[in-house]
Amino acid sequence: MSLNEYTKRVNKVIGADLIENFSDFKFNLLSRAYNTLLAEKSTVDKITDAEILWVFEMVRDHLIPHNYSQMISDSLGLERLKTISLRQARFLDKNYDELMEKRSLDNISCEEIIGVYEIITEHVAPIEIELIGGYYEENEEPYVYY
């Protein structure tokens, strides 16, 4: 089975319309996850439909750890990550995704990651606004990139 046939099979199991709605970043992450699965199984025939669906759901729900999220976690540290609201986390996700779409991970420094964090938490959605707006109460557990 060729790679093109593998893509057709993934589209059949998942549904091409669901994959089309992914951002470029998520689509690339999904492609890498499927390539990893293919490398582990060595042939497409050994991959079940359930595994294809499982990988899709993991990427869709942000559950696959990767170098990008590890770099963010390492740069920001647990203390910073456990003090943000869910709304701030959503802003951070969007901004980090945009940063990754523009440049490769190798070209992004820890200082830039911290800079995005500071812009969001100090200027876009400072903690005072989060508390007044009731947004901070949504965050019952630390938001940690994994």
Instruction: Answer yes or no: do 36 and 97 share one domain.
Output: no
C-alpha span between 131 and 129 (Å, rounded): 5
Instruction: Answer yes or no: do 31 and 73 share one domain.
Output: no
Q: Is 84 inside a domain boundary?
A: yes
Instruction: Answer yes or no: do 53 and 108 share one domain.
Output: no
The 10s digit of each residue's pLDDT in 100-138 is 888 877 788 999 999 999 999 999 988 887 777 666 654
pTM exceeding 0.75: no
C-alpha span between 77 and 95 (Å, rounded): 18
Range of the domain at 13: 3-60
Instruction: Answer yes or no: do 53 and 79 share one domain.
Output: no
Q: What is the DSSP letter of 40?
A: H
Number of domains present in the structure of the chain: 2
C-alpha span between 104 and 44 (Å, rounded): 29
The 10s digit of each residue's pLDDT in 58-86 is 777 765 555 677 788 788 887 787 788 87
Instruction: Answer yes or no: do 36 and 75 share one domain.
Output: no
Q: Is 134 inside a domain boundary?
A: yes
Q: Is 146 inside a domain boundary?
A: no
